[in-house]
Amino acid sequence: MADERADALIRLQEQMQARRGIWEGHWREVAERVRPTQNIFQQQRPDGDKRNEKIFDATAPLALPKFAAAVISFTMPSTQKYQALTTGDEALDENSNVKRYLEAVNDVLFKARYAARANFISQSSEVVLDLGAFGTGILFVDDVLGVGIRYKSFPLAECYAEEDEHGSINRLHRKFQYTAAQAAAMFGPQNLSEGIKRALERNPLEKFWFLHCVGPNDDFAPGYALHPTKGKKFSSCYIEFETRTVVDEGGYRTFPFAVPRYETSPRECYGRSPAMAVLPDIKMLNEMSKTVLRAGQQVVAPPIMLSDDASLQAFNVRSNALNHGYVDAQGRPMAIPFQTQGRVDIGLDMMNQRREVINDAFFVTLFRILVEEPQITATEAMLRAQEKGQLLGPPMGRMQSELLGPTTERELDILAMNGALPPMPRELMDRGAEVHIRYQGPLNQAQRAGVGVGIMQTIQSIAPLAQIDPSVMMIFDLEACARELASINSVPERLLRTDEEITALKEQQAQQAQAQQLLAAAPVAASAAKDFAQAQSMAGSAPNQVAPNILPTPAPAGGQ
């Protein structure tokens, strides 16, 4: 029997589905030509079927993974800690207790995110691929009992989103299928309808539709922190779609979905993607490919023109085939290939122009520069990095804020509730325990490359003056310049010496220099001591003689 809550949520789901009907047609066109594995919009397709029937040129499908690789390597490479935690107060950040706490929390966060069973790398890659193709990605951050944090990418075809008054996604519905066995494991057989129970015994692999609705909890009460529904800011409800009954209900303290969008237009909830921006070029390139293929086939294997007399006879076009009767008495051929005079090369040039536009949209051309010109100076490399940071800053920055930001907030909430975080210092608790994310990945370092370029260019400009007057270099703190360049170029902190180590090395170098000076002066001192000893010996052997006085003798009075 259907219940009122399930009916209300299904009606809301139908409204959300109707509002995005035009989007689904657009997404289907993109999926057919760019991401065919996700071509399940407005249609049910069997598993394993062919979905690339409309792809005649692979430029866009091959550019999409390169786009994802560029986004991931620039914003969240798994080889480094691309984000840190900060209080937003520089003085408080320098407090030793707060600093150690934030570093410890960040270590716990990254350990959980990249745990073996967390699945973050593979699922975040799927999200970025959806972002490049459809402009919107869905990442679910779940807390699995006995496992910990688990990440799951949901296909956009199954998900329906809505924004709050500030433009942030705060409601998401997912319409999906479970087999009878999966439903029983997820919700318990006692909570399922009689139809699924019968299928569980007869055909456990039979699929059924379910609806998962997550949105703001109208019954939220801060004083009921331990209550399964009232104590959660967001409600969660699983509905068996056919019987319109609730099979599971609960809530989340934080919104469990991260929904990054590439770019949004006014009054639109879903994002627009690079593939959407160049969809006309992608479709045009596919049509050009078909045309050039036909033209090339006619050039390589042209039609054969026959005379009227020979038109009824079979003509064999295979290699070394013998065709009798196709030469007249004068030796002229009676079968002639038809030359269309088609310019296949012009078609290829036009296709290459479309390919460049598509590769530009997916940033393939931008990342190809360093590969094509590997022999460049350090300053040129910094200039290239600065240019990348400027071009990639807006779209990548939005992905950081809409993917990594909500993901981190959800992770910290789960870790705190599971008691996995270290004790918070009193200094931070007194300030309200608020922390912020500071992104420090390659994208942010590329945006700082302008500072490195300024340092290098200034030192190069001052170098001629330093040859005239070396004192002009005294205006620079060369150690600070070196540390800044090391930070910009992502030199690991473990490879840099601390201030204490540098001071100790300077003292050691000063002692070594002093010792070398003493060693250099030792032969002179030994020779002087030897000469003095010889002089004393000679003076002792001749007591009536007086050693000469090397000081100037004053002149006698009167000038004599």
**Which one has a higher pLDDT value, 136 or 471?**
136
Name the DSSP letter for residue 89: -
Helices assigned H by DSSP within 339-404: 344-361, 364-372, 378-399
Which secondary-structure segment (H or E) carries 437? strand 436-439
Closest CA to 140 of 131, 127, 129: 127
Most confident option among 84-88, 128-132, 508-512: 128-132
Helices assigned H by DSSP within 34-95: 59-75, 90-93
**Which one has a higher pLDDT value, 202 or 527?**
202
**Which one has a higher pLDDT value, 147 or 9?**
9
Closest CA to 256 of 214, 213, 220: 214
Closest CA to 187 of 129, 136, 250: 250
Contact 74, 442 (CB under 8 A): yes
Mean pLDDT of 507-533: 74
Which secondary-structure segment (H or E) carries 5? helix 4-19
The Cα–Cα gap between 20 and 23 comes to: 5
Terminal C-alpha separation, the chain: 143
- Checking if the pLDDT of 560 tops 50, the result is no
Contact 140, 169 (CB under 8 A): no
* pLDDT for the residue 192: 94
* pLDDT tens per residue across span 180-206: 999 999 999 999 999 999 999 999 999
* pLDDT for the residue 158: 94
Of the given ranges (63-72, 466-475, 517-526), which has the lowest mean pLDDT?
Answer: 517-526
The Cα–Cα gap between 131 and 61 comes to: 14
Q: Alpha-carbon dihedral of residues 139, 400, 66, 47, nearest 10 degrees?
A: 10
Helices assigned H by DSSP within 400-477: 405-417, 426-430, 442-447, 449-468
| pLDDT band, residue 547 (cuts 50/70/90) | very low
User: What is the pTM for the complete model shown?
Assistant: 0.77
Contact 35, 129 (CB under 8 A): yes
Cβ atoms within 10 Å, residue 269:
20
Half-sphere exposure of 425 (CA within 13 A, CB side): 17
Mean pLDDT of 136-140: 96
| pLDDT band, residue 551 (cuts 50/70/90) | very low
Which secondary-structure segment (H or E) carries 86? strand 83-86
* pLDDT for the residue 325: 73
What proportions of the chain, in percent to the nearest 5, are helix, strand and coil?
A: 55, 15, 35
- Checking if the pLDDT of 138 tops 60, the result is yes
Contact 151, 123 (CB under 8 A): yes
| Domains of the chain, residue spans | 1-298+342-447
The Cα–Cα gap between 56 and 44 comes to: 24
